[in-house]
Chain A
């Protein structure tokens, strides 16, 4: 019972605190806006980082954690392309060396890449094309054949014009109807659709999304689409063998290309995990910057709240004296002013949350035309609301503690005498 009464008292003081917030609303809103900005930045940064993360992980599935890729360019975020642009093209013949000498590589395929205009009737779209071996069927990652089939060895041998298409073809050309058996034109050549890949949604794979992909026999590709693009070697291994496989493949490639010892590689051996590492570094840099900005604005707003609270204590010295004369304990006064500070912080944070909600809503409902109606990958996390609330309470208590203690420890006689 005693405890209950104490609680009751505690809440009464909080209500007194909230009451004084209401009577100084303009000042409170001005002070709280610092926290609004802080909460807004931290939320947007962490929402962006976690969204990027999710999308990136999805995209990395496409490359697979069990594959090694050999190409002219390293997968990295250091964009010094001039270093790589004069490197020789990847030759399909290197695959023979790899199959012959490698211990860790279990399967191989060429992957020829290009982009082309696809048409069906009067509809047109740009699609990404891959020319691969029949073995690629088992090396597909991050997606699978959902409808129809892959091309056969025979079709590859005979350079048949058969294709496996990504998810957008169905929606873009056939109003959502089954595209199997239909014929579309790529680069003005007619192809028959024999298979369909699972729809992925937007990804961040350089070169587009899996949904815009068209896979065909590399022999057909070579005959019809040799204008521009680049080749890669796709090498299957086990996830745990990736580091060794990469070293081994590098050695074999050097031998195949007859690179003298001491010279630099003129090719790049890539894998998803290395790319991921690079990406994480960049992501952490973004997050670090975001949190720094947030940290600064939180500190600034804490100082702002502290200042407002000192002013509030100063202005209400007589009130404090009076309340003490009427029987308020030091703790009563402390609670009153602390809850005022926390309330200011929460008001600021809530406005921040509202802004974030609006921003996310705005971004999410804004379709990006080039991505076939997909939207920007940003999500709104409910946990954010919880964290914000916690941060606000923390900042409020931190900023309010010294002013509230000053108020609580005022001598009632001096306070009452204050002009």
Chain B
């Protein structure tokens, strides 16, 4: 990749080991990885290979059993729960396969959720949420509840929610897995656009077509990085 790019994430010899009494599962086995500003990475691999585990560690939802994780200059692998929550809030935007919108909140309120845990005032929260919904083209669906939206629209609300705090990196774990190909393509177009606008994106996927759109592809096999190009 272009050497001029700034490294934002550095993972060094990270392992995630589940000790299930008799068997020991190495979900991640001594993985090292650097992620640069404005990367667009797809992660592929068979089921159970450790893709989600890697994503969760990058997203600070999970902590590695071994190894070092540096986010910019901060040592994530040494942080406590509150510090991790703070990093998730400010630096990371998640997009899930199952959207994970709160059913009783409308689109606007769903997008506002991450801002509630930041220190923004109400007015600024609303402005930011509106702006994010504009970016995903849902400015005329702001007061709709999730069950009044199509699957593609729901995922766009989720993307708006991931964007709203202006994160350093957007993590999407099979974002098109629950969508038909048309809605899926729409979502992928957004990722392409977000990447062009300067965002850093990591997408976990099973689909070759999705991976092709990314600029860098990582294959994982049995908890190890098998290919990175």
Give the B-binding residues of A (Cβ under 8 A).
Answer: 5, 8-9, 12, 16, 19-20, 23, 318-319, 322-332, 412-413, 416
List chain A residues, Cβ under 8 A from B59.
325
29 A-B interface contacts by CB (under 8 A): A5-B119, A8-B121, A12-B116, A322-B100, A322-B102, A323-B113, A324-B61, A324-B88, A325-B94, A325-B100, A326-B88, A326-B117, A327-B85, A327-B114, A327-B165, A328-B85, A328-B89, A329-B81, A329-B85, A329-B86, A329-B117, A330-B81, A330-B82, A331-B82, A332-B117, A412-B61, A413-B56, A413-B61, A416-B96
**Complex contact A328–B117 (CB within 8 A):** yes
Interface size grouping (class) on chain B = 20 to 34
Q: Of residues 113 to 150 in B, which have CB atoms within 8 Å of A's CB atoms?
A: 113-114, 116-119, 121
16 additional contacts (CB under 8 A) given A327-B90, A331-B82: A9-B117, A23-B104, A319-B102, A322-B102, A324-B61, A325-B59, A325-B61, A326-B113, A326-B114, A326-B161, A327-B86, A329-B81, A329-B85, A413-B61, A413-B62, A416-B96
Nearest chain B CB to A408 CB, angstrom units: 10
List chain B residues, Cβ under 8 A from A318.
100
Nearest chain B CB to A3 CB, angstrom units: 11
**Complex contact B116–A16 (CB within 8 A):** yes
List chain A residues, Cβ under 8 A from B161.
326
In angstroms, Cα B101 to Cα A416, docked, is 12
Nearest chain B CB to A19 CB, angstrom units: 8
Top 8 A-B pairs, shortest CB-CB distance: A327-B89, A327-B117, A326-B114, A5-B119, A329-B85, A327-B88, A322-B100, A412-B61
CB < 8 Å A-B pair total: 62
User: Quick one: given A318-B100, A413-B62, are A326 and B94 in contact (CB under 8 Å)?
Assistant: yes
List chain A residues, Cβ under 8 A from B118.
327
In angstroms, Cα B94 to Cα A39, docked, is 46
Closest to B158 in A: A322
List chain A residues, Cβ under 8 A from B114.
326-327
**Complex contact B100–A416 (CB within 8 A):** yes
Q: Of residues 42 to 90 in B, which have CB atoms within 8 Å of A's CB atoms?
A: 56, 59, 61-62, 81-82, 85-86, 88-90
